[in-house]
Amino acid sequence: MTDVVAWLKENGNLKIIEEPLDVELEIPHAAYIEVKKDDSRPLLFTRPVNKNKGIEYTVPVLMNIFANKEITQKIFGKHPDEIASGIDGLMKLKPPRGFKEKLAMIPKLFALRSVFPKRLKGRGECQEIVYRKDEVDLDKFPILKTWEEDGGPFITMGQVYTQSIDGKIQNLGMYRLQQYDKKRLGMHWQIHKDASHFFDQYQKEGRKMPVTVAIGGDPLYIWCGQAPMPHGMFELLLYGFVRGKNAKMVKSLTNDIYIPHDVDIVIEGFVDPVKMQTEGPFGDHTGYYTLREPFPFMEVETVTMKKNPVFQATVVGKPPLEDKYMGWATERIFLPMLKPMAPDLIDYNMPENGVFHNLIVAKMKTLYKGHAQQFMHAFWGVGQMSFVKHAIFVGEDAPDLEKGEALTEYILNRLDRTKILITQGIVDHLDHSSAEQFVGGKLGVDATAGEVEKGEEHLLSDSELLERMQKIDENICEVKQYMTHTKTPVCFVSVLKKESQRYVISKLHELKAHLKLLVIVDKANNALDNPYMLIWRVANNIDAQRDIVLEPFIAIDGTNKDKHDRYEREWPGDTFCTKEVLDRLKEKGVIDIDEAFIQKFGLLPFE
């Protein structure tokens, strides 16, 4: 992986785009379209420009590195399940009881020598070219603006290296970095992240905090940066474990932080704990904009790079995206680390249209009554799993967790309202649905038992049900029913929202003989014939305590929240592509999509 572009040409079916494209919207839109294709490929943009600033960059842009499962597995050098098996073996190591067992353990212990990063003396490849403070100019790099309403250009694949104030704990995180000007970057480290905890230490002592940002190099570095490692464990330990060789590190030129010797670009600086600046908006991986909020910023002291650097970037927005494949690797590799707290856990999956923290489905071996509820609390109480909003548990007889339709049928046949747990807990910094930031409703569904008995409900056709609903409420626009052959048919309804949907649900009680699971969404920007995006919408938009009703049928309010819901926060907008940009890219032959593709992935707004 010393030359990532050459490696991708040989191993990843790299697509090279030589057409001059703008870093503002054009390049990100092209990558956004590509990663949604079934045959998604990595992209190299050789001639990035910035029309607003009149810049023609000499540094190319590399995107969609984790373009599919096959290339992700090649990046790791083996299937993630093999890596997980190695971790599982280490966690089960026991003291040897005899000479033969001692001999058998030697290879495992010897292999562990490669886990720990190795600090090199002197400079690395990443320090071949040096720009000191007066020469620093972030405009030399093709930093992307992805969405029209973004607050500016953002570094989206930055490896952010920080350390505790005593230097004993080092951290690698993947945070977006807003470029304010030629010498300042916003530090969007969320309140629950290790870098934010380090910042608190420096703030308390009134000292500037050193930060080094790396871009490029081995793609495994960036995966390590988003891996949910336990607090205090340096993420590059994973690099050594996966690669079977030590990560080679060199010291930053202006601070004591070490970074990989072979990254392409290094940005060094300090964060003054008394200075803050408004960061955002930013179209994030939830598919919504995260709103403006004050964050610390980095004042850049020095920039170093290779002689011929490549600028790595990713695009985030509505699923599916590159993080789908990065997340798949994370799920597989970290399964053994979850099992000590939930020993009877068999497998788990975070569907990409559930946006990871918003939805998890877990398969388990149930041994006693309440076992699934015990697992729910275990998941919500540990590490990054504590941010999960909606957890569904299925039995060991359930289909493979990636077989979406069969799994949905299994769950709906076992959905029992008496086995639904609604509680409250911590939610992700990016969650917008809760009435209060950082704290919101949690939903746990125990679908581990046998099938429920079929109720006495009498299903109507979509048209007949719509007619009866509109007699009750004229603001109901459309109806579509799914999984009508299961014990819990699902009825989606779109509305023109003019009042609290809890009130609308109460008015629909008279139709309880025809409803088992009702889901309400806004008519605007929701197509009832697109279940993939409906799951995305509902998983994002609900707070279980406020938006789920269990009697006389299960009802979920997946609408955007407003004053009718006593919601006082600002509700964010969707990430939508800019139509003029899509049209330009089509004219240039960079993308080839039709109206069906646009509708399928919600690329443009519609009514």
Q: Tell me the three-class secondary structure of 449-475, residue by residue.
A: CCCCCCCCCCCCCHHHHHHHHHHHCCC
Tens of pLDDT, residues 348-363: 999 999 887 899 999 9
Superfamily of domain 341-447: UbiD C-terminal domain-like (3.40.1670.10)
Dihedral sign computed on CA atoms, order 152, 155, 156, 159: negative
Dihedral sign computed on CA atoms, order 522, 526, 527, 532: negative
pLDDT at 339: 83
**Least reliable range by pLDDT among 2-16, 134-148, 476-490:** 2-16
pLDDT at 428: 87
Arithmetic mean of pLDDT, 141-153? 97
Do 160 and 174 meet the contact criterion of CB atoms below 8 Å apart? yes
**Whether residue 477 has pLDDT greater than 60:** yes
- Separation CA 305–CA 239 (nearest Å): 22
Number of other residues whose CB lies within 10 A of the CB of residue 46: 14
Ranges assigned E (strand) in 285-352 = 289-290, 293-295, 297-305, 311-312, 345-349
- 445 vs 428 pLDDT, higher one: 445
Question: Model pTM greater than 0.75?
Answer: yes
pLDDT at 102: 56
Tens of pLDDT, residues 173-192: 999 999 999 999 999 987 77
Q: Nearest-5° angle of CA 215, CA 217, CA 221?
A: 80
Arithmetic mean of pLDDT, 52-62? 97
- Separation CA 460–CA 267 (nearest Å): 62
Arithmetic mean of pLDDT, 104-124? 76
**Whether residue 141 has pLDDT greater than 60:** yes
pLDDT at 199: 86
Q: Which helix (H) or strand (E) holds 331?
A: helix 323-338
Q: DSSP for 83-120, please give it.
A: HHHHHHHHHT-----SHHHHHHHHHHHHHGGGTS-EEP
Tens of pLDDT, residues 373-395: 999 998 888 778 888 999 999 99
Query: 420 falls in which pLDDT band (50, 70, 90)?
Result: very high
**Whether residue 113 has pLDDT greater than 90:** no
Arithmetic mean of pLDDT, 457-485? 95
- 193 vs 4 pLDDT, higher one: 4
The backbone torsions φ and ψ at residue 93, rounded to the nearest 5 degrees and listed phi first, read -60, 135
pLDDT at 454: 80
Tens of pLDDT, residues 275-289: 999 999 999 999 999
Query: 13 falls in which pLDDT band (50, 70, 90)?
Result: very high
Strands 439-447 and 420-426: antiparallel
Domain boundaries, the chain: 4-312, 341-447
**Whether residue 554 has pLDDT greater than 60:** yes
**Whether residue 93 has pLDDT greater than 90:** no
Do 272 and 203 meet the contact criterion of CB atoms below 8 Å apart? no
pLDDT at 337: 82
List the CATH code of the domain at 4-312. 2.30.110.10
pLDDT at 97: 66
**Whether residue 1 has pLDDT greater than 60:** no
**Whether residue 110 has pLDDT greater than 70:** no
Q: What is the largest CA-CA distance in the chain?
A: 81
Do 554 and 490 meet the contact criterion of CB atoms below 8 Å apart? no
Strands 48-50 and 55-56: antiparallel
Q: Where on the phi/psi map is residue 232: left (φ > 0), alpha (ψ -120 to 50), or beta?
A: left
**Whether residue 94 has pLDDT greater than 80:** no
Amino acid at position 352, single letter: E
Instruction: Give start and end residues of each alpha helix (H) in 154-244.
Output: 194-205, 219-226, 236-243
Task: From residue 89, give the alpha-carbon distance in Å to each of 34, 94, 235.
Answer: 38, 10, 19
**Whether residue 159 has pLDDT greater than 60:** yes
Tens of pLDDT, residues 515-529: 999 999 999 999 999
Query: 105 falls in which pLDDT band (50, 70, 90)?
Result: low
What percentage of the chain has pLDDT greater than the value 90? Answer: 82
pLDDT at 379: 84
Mean pLDDT of the chain: 92
Write out the two tokens for 354: 């559930």
**Whether residue 129 has pLDDT greater than 60:** yes
Arithmetic mean of pLDDT, 336-342? 83
Write out the two tokens for 526: 């929701």
Amino acid at position 7, single letter: W
Write out the two tokens for 457: 């409900």
pLDDT at 77: 94
Tens of pLDDT, residues 209-255: 999 999 999 999 999 998 888 778 899 999 998 998 999 999 999 99
pLDDT at 91: 57
What percentage of the chain has pLDDT greater than the value 70? Answer: 95
**Least reliable range by pLDDT among 44-48, 102-106, 549-553:** 102-106
